[in-house]
């Protein structure tokens, strides 16, 4: 057996062990036991390989648009033969992330999605999440931006106080247990809003239509995804989930301005998580050589003048951060966010 074949055999063996352990144990237990298995480490360069870049989000959504735009530049700067997009929609990013969790750690399967969704799924104890967010290998962030809570233009709601004063629950259309679902759960707790989550929507376009038609009261999206409907007069922003007010709409207050006491700490944790936003990650135990190559390639890709020009034309702004910095944030956020766990788990229990 050649050295290359041995590496593939080791990777396959690791994967089979993880699948076997997963059938008997939680993701945390899998991580502990699998880590105790003494498999040798094999070099796994991605040069000349075909990389699958999983997008666990809707095919026409913002995340997948970013992934398709950046993929050729990762191939260019990594020396990979190709970087191919595989859309795996389901569960607000959970299905595709589960797939990557069990992928061989050779650098040929990575993903691009909303990193806060991964963290929040773990903290909430989501049964759908078979992964531990802290065990993924983070490869870099492409962009981040503040998110915003909007309501329909015809809605009686014009402020958070109005949402709290409704004589009925605030109806929140949701595409799954993603960061918007969990963020709204924290906001509802912080501002004492009676919340009703209606799940089953497919992406931002669906939740936006529900809000515009009046089937839902409000939803959370990125500012860039909402600007068109806001400017068209179909939606109204009432609160920004950010450290500072969004410059084009300075009259819209931030959640941090409106929150107080212990509730403010929970809101701060959510704002910090959302800062990680659009990022790349790989399976646990990702080979060190592949990790280095992919992190370097993503840094180079996001600094490529051609990609920067393309992103500006497409209206997909870049605000990169390297993989090491993102890996450090994961540890810091999870360690500082224990006080929001009861809120997140109660939100998940409420929709089961």
Give the CATH number of the domain where residue 288 resides: 3.40.190.150
* Residues spanned by the domain of 168: 147-273
Average the pLDDT over 240-254 and give the result. 95
pTM of the entire predicted model: 0.69
Average the pLDDT over 317-321 and give the result. 94
pLDDT tens for each residue of 323-350: 999 998 887 777 767 778 888 888 888 8
Q: Which of 227, 254, 273 is the last residue of a domain?
A: 273
My answer on whether 260 and 304 are in the same domain is no
Q: What is the pLDDT of residue 11?
A: 53
Beta bridge partner(s), residue 53: 85, 110
Whose tokens are 């969790």? That residue is 101
Phi, then psi, of 71 in degrees rounded to 5? -50, -50
My answer on whether 216 and 316 are in the same domain is no
* 214 lies in some domain: yes
My answer on whether 223 and 286 are in the same domain is no
Q: What are the strands of the beta sheet with 278-282, ordered from one edge?
A: 82-87, 50-55, 109-114, 278-282, 137-143, 321-322
| Rounded alpha-carbon distances, angstroms, from residue 211 to 113, 170, 215, 216, 345 | 24, 11, 6, 5, 26
My answer on whether 113 and 175 are in the same domain is no
My answer on whether 99 and 117 are in the same domain is yes
From the number of C-beta atoms within 10 Å of its C-beta (0-12, 13-18, 19+), residue 2 rates as: exposed
For residues 267 and 190, the answer to whether their CB atoms sit within 8 Å is yes
Domains: count for the chain: 2
* 348 lies in some domain: no
Structure-block tokens of residue 31? 């991580």
My answer on whether 61 and 118 are in the same domain is yes
pLDDT tens for each residue of 122-168: 888 888 999 998 899 999 999 988 899 999 999 999 999 999 999 99
* 343 lies in some domain: no
My answer on whether 125 and 218 are in the same domain is no
Structure-block tokens of residue 251? 């009259």
Average the pLDDT over 172-185 and give the result. 89
- Per-residue pLDDT at 287 exceeds 80: yes
My answer on whether 158 and 267 are in the same domain is yes
Listed in sequence order, the residues at least 6 apart from 238 whose beta carbon sits closer than 8 Å to its beta carbon are 149, 150, 151, 157, 158, 159, 160, 163, 218, 252
Alpha-helical segments (H) within the chain: 3-22, 27-36, 62-78, 94-101, 115-124, 160-164, 179-190, 204-213, 223-231, 255-258, 261-274, 288-302, 305-314, 323-336, 341-351
Whose tokens are 């992934």? That residue is 67
From the number of C-beta atoms within 10 Å of its C-beta (0-12, 13-18, 19+), residue 95 rates as: middle
- Per-residue pLDDT at 308 exceeds 90: yes
My answer on whether 179 and 131 are in the same domain is no
236 versus 114: the higher-pLDDT residue is 236
- Per-residue pLDDT at 27 exceeds 80: no
pLDDT tens for each residue of 89-120: 988 789 999 999 999 999 999 999 989 888 88
Classify the C-alpha dihedral 271-277-283-288 as positive or negative: negative
In the Cβ-directed half-sphere of 39, how many Cα atoms lie within 13 Å? 24
- Per-residue pLDDT at 42 exceeds 90: no
My answer on whether 156 and 305 are in the same domain is no
Q: What is the pLDDT of residue 45?
A: 95
Structure-block tokens of residue 59? 């095919």
* 342 lies in some domain: no
Q: What is the CATH number of the domain that holds 224?
A: 3.40.190.10
My answer on whether 134 and 161 are in the same domain is no
Confidence of residue 277 (pLDDT cuts 50, 70, 90): confident
My answer on whether 8 and 137 are in the same domain is yes
CB atoms < 10 A from the CB of 196, how many?
A: 14
Cα angle: 115, vertex 93, 120; to 5 degrees: 50
- Cα distance between residue 93 and residue 35, in whole Å: 25
* 73 lies in some domain: yes
Report which of 284, 288, 307, 305 is spatially closest to residue 296, judged by C-alpha positions. 288
* 283 lies in some domain: yes
Q: Which of 273, 288, 303 is the last residue of a domain?
A: 273
Q: Which of 273, 298, 329 is the last residue of a domain?
A: 273
Q: How many residues does the chain have?
A: 352
How far from chain centre, in Å, is Cα 350? 22
* 349 lies in some domain: no
């Amino acid at each position: 057996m050649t050295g290359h074949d041995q590496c593939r055999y080791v990777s396959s063996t690791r994967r089979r062990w993880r699948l076997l352990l997963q059938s008997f144990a939680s993701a945390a237990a899998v991580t502990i036991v699998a880590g105790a298995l003494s498999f040798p480490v094999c070099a796994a360069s991605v040069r000349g390989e075909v990389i699958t870049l999983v997008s666990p989000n809707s095919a026409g959504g913002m995340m997948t648009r970013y992934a398709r735009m950046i993929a050729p530049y990762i191939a260019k700067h990594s020396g990979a033969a190709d970087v191919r997009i595989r859309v795996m929609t389901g569960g607000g990013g959970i299905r595709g992330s589960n797939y990557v969790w069990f992928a061989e750690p050779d650098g040929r399967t990575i993903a691009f999605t909303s990193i806060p969704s991964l963290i929040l799924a773990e903290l909430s104890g989501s049964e759908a999440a078979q992964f531990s967010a802290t065990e993924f290998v983070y490869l870099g962030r492409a962009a981040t931006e503040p998110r915003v809570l909007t309501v329909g233009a015809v809605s009686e709601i014009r402020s958070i106080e109005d949402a709290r004063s409704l004589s009925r629950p605030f109806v929140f259309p949701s595409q799954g247990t993603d960061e918007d679902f969990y963020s709204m759960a924290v906001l509802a707790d912080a501002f004492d809003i009676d919340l009703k989550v209606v799940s089953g929507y497919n992406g931002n376009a669906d939740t936006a239509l529900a809000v515009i038609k009046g089937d839902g009261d409000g939803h959370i999206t990125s500012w860039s995804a909402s600007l068109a409907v806001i400017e068209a007069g179909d939606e109204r922003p009432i609160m920004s989930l950010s450290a500072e007010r969004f410059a084009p709409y300075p009259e819209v207050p931030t959640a941090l301005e409106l929150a107080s006491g212990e509730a403010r700490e929970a809101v701060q944790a959510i704002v910090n998580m959302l800062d990680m936003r659009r990022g790349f990650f790989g399976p646990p135990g990702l080979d060190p050589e592949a990790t280095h190559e992919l992190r370097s390639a993503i840094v180079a890709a996001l600094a490529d003048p051609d990609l920067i020009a393309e992103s500006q034309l497409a209206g997909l702004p870049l605000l990169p951060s390297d993989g090491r910095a993102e890996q450090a944030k994961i540890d810091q956020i999870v360690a500082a966010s224990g006080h929001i766990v009861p809120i997140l788990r109660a939100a998940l229990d409420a929709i089961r």
